[in-house]
């Protein structure tokens, strides 16, 4: 081995902080599956005259090869791996004209196991913050002494590749920061709304009966919105809600919020598993809050108990929300479509935001009322 211009000899394993963390390594390994990086290694082989090339990634003390050209390389174990140490060579490329004659290569069985590789040249890939993430490597199964311009080609190509990875890395960090800020915002909004809901509940206890009911209704609406923000904070996907789980929790919260007498009713929830955009989940949650609260309080005669069923069914062309009871039904003189109460005005506005329709009918089985809200899942979000 050896050419003083490009660096030689065995480099000690780096400190842990010099390498990318596990999350960054996993991201980079996934990134290198893109076909564009295979073209980079093909170009590296052509520019250096070597028949084989790959990008090595230093991760957890091991070398992992991706975007291989002309060779399939195993992932050599352990920090002693020749190519792992090559990532942390000095600024210039590391070149082994014949690995079998190199002291580091002879002491490193994994280097010899690299498909009988004899010649190796690798240029470290460093991000702007100095983090070494891997190396652009070329190989041959026979010893060779490439001329300096060819090694310079490898260095220049590695520099361009490192800049490209750095740009993608910065874009990813920006997305991670944005995701963190959105989650933090949802967390704070949820906490603030919960505090407001709690204050309304406390105020309601000291108010008259009519005021207490109004404040309790307002607290329930705020809590329905707060629950969406709590789920956004915990969710993996930005802006999407596991609606089935949200609906279960929302109905449980409604049940806990009503009086002991009203808790006699059996609340049944059936929902298809589906993720919904947060704005749509919020609208549906508020509709459910209004309809279920109204059914709990008014569907059954005083002293009578019965089921209240909430359903959400997601077909490819239509989503349908239902709330049904087996109570006394709607009075003949009541037309929900034209009712002017705050609850019905809220429901009509939310259904309009969904681009949907609402219908109040007699229950399909026995007595009672069935409320159905239908909308198309591809409906655009309102401005």
Q: Report pLDDT digits (tens) over 262-307.
A: 667 888 999 999 999 888 888 898 888 889 888 888 888 877 888 9
Same domain, yes or no: 261 and 167: no
Structural domain contains residue 232: no
Contacts 24+ apart (CB under 8 A), 63-70: 63/87, 64/25, 64/29, 66/29, 66/32, 66/33, 66/37, 67/32, 67/37, 67/38, 67/40, 67/41, 68/38, 68/41, 69/38, 69/41, 69/42, 69/44, 69/45, 70/45
Residues written for the chain: 383
Instruction: Yes or no: say if 216 and 257 are a contact pair by the CB < 8 Å rule.
Output: yes
Q: Which of 327, 314, 318 is nearest to 363 (CA)?
A: 327
Whether 191 maps to a domain, the answer reads no
Q: Is residue 206 part of a domain?
A: no
The reported pTM is: 0.49
Domain that holds residue 38: 16-172
C-alpha 120/C-alpha 96 separation (Å) is 5
Is the pLDDT at 187 greater than 70, yes or no?
no
Give how many domains the chain has, as a whole number. 2
In a domain, 200, yes or no: no
157 and 264 share one domain? no
Which 8-state DSSP code applies to residue 93? P
For residues 198 and 48, what is the distance between their CA atoms, to the nearest angstrom?
A: 70
168 and 263 in a single domain? The answer is no
207 pLDDT exceeds 60? Answer: no
User: Of 121, 139, 172, which residue is a domain's last?
Assistant: 172
Phi, psi dihedrals of residue 378, rounded to the nearest 5°: -95, 10
* pLDDT score for 204: 57
| Residue 128 β-bridge partners | none
Q: Single out the residue in 140, 172, 204 at which a domain terminates.
A: 172
Residue 7 lies in a domain: no
For residue 89, pLDDT over 80 is answered with: no
Based on the fold, state whether residues 38 and 155 are members of the same structural domain.
yes
Specify whether 288 is located in the same domain as 147: no
Residues 262 and 163 in one domain: no
Asked if residue 203 belongs to a domain, the reply is: no
> For residue 199, is it within any domain?
no
Specify if 192 maps to a domain.
Answer: no
Domain boundary among 118, 142, 172: 172
* Angstrom distance (rounded) from CA 344 to CA 373: 13
| Domain identity same for 164 and 312 | no
* For range 217-245, the mean pLDDT: 69
Whether 25 and 161 share a structural domain: yes
């Amino acid at each position: 081995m050896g050419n003083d211009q490009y660096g030689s000899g065995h480099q000690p394993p780096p400190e842990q902080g010099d390498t990318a963390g596990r999350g960054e390594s996993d991201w980079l390994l996934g990134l290198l599956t893109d076909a564009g990086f295979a073209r980079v290694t093909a170009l590296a082989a052509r520019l250096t005259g070597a028949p084989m090339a790959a990008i090595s990634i230093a991760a957890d003390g091991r070398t992992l090869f991706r975007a291989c050209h002309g060779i399939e390389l195993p992932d050599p174990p352990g920090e002693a791996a020749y190519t792992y140490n090559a990532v942390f060579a000095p600024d210039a490329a590391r070149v082994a004209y014949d690995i079998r004659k190199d002291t580091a290569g002879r002491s490193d069985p994994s280097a010899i196991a690299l498909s009988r590789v004899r010649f190796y040249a690798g240029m470290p890939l460093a991000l702007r913050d100095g983090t070494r993430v891997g190396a652009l490597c070329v190989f041959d199964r026979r010893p060779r002494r490439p001329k300096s311009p060819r090694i310079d080609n490898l260095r220049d190509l590695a520099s361009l590749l490192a800049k490209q990875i750095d740009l993608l890395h910065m874009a990813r960090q920006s997305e991670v920061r944005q995701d963190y800020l959105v989650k933090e915002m949802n967390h704070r909004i949820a906490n603030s709304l919960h505090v407001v809901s709690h204050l309304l509940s406390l105020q309601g206890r000291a108010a008259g009966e009519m005021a207490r009911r109004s404040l309790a209704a307002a607290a329930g609406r705020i809590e329905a919105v707060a629950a969406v923000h709590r789920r956004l904070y915990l969710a993996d996907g930005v802006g999407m809600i596991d609606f089935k789980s949200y609906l279960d929790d929302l109905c449980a919260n409604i049940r806990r919020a009503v009086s002991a007498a009203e808790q006699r009713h059996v609340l049944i929830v059936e929902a298809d598993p589906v993720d919904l955009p947060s704005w749509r989940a919020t609208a549906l949650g508020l509709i459910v809050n209004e309809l279920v609260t109204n059914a709990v309080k008014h569907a059954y005669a005083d002293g009578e108990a019965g089921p209240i069923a909430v359903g959400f069914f997601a077909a490819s062309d239509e989503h349908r929300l239902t709330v049904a009871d087996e109570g006394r039904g709607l009075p003949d003189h009541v037309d929900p479509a034209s009712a002017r109460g705050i609850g019905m005005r809220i429901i009509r506005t939310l259904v309009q935001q969904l681009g949907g329709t609402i219908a109040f009918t007699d229950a399909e089985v026995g007595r009672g009322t069935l409320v159905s809200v239908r909308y198309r899942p591809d409906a655009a979000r309102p401005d």
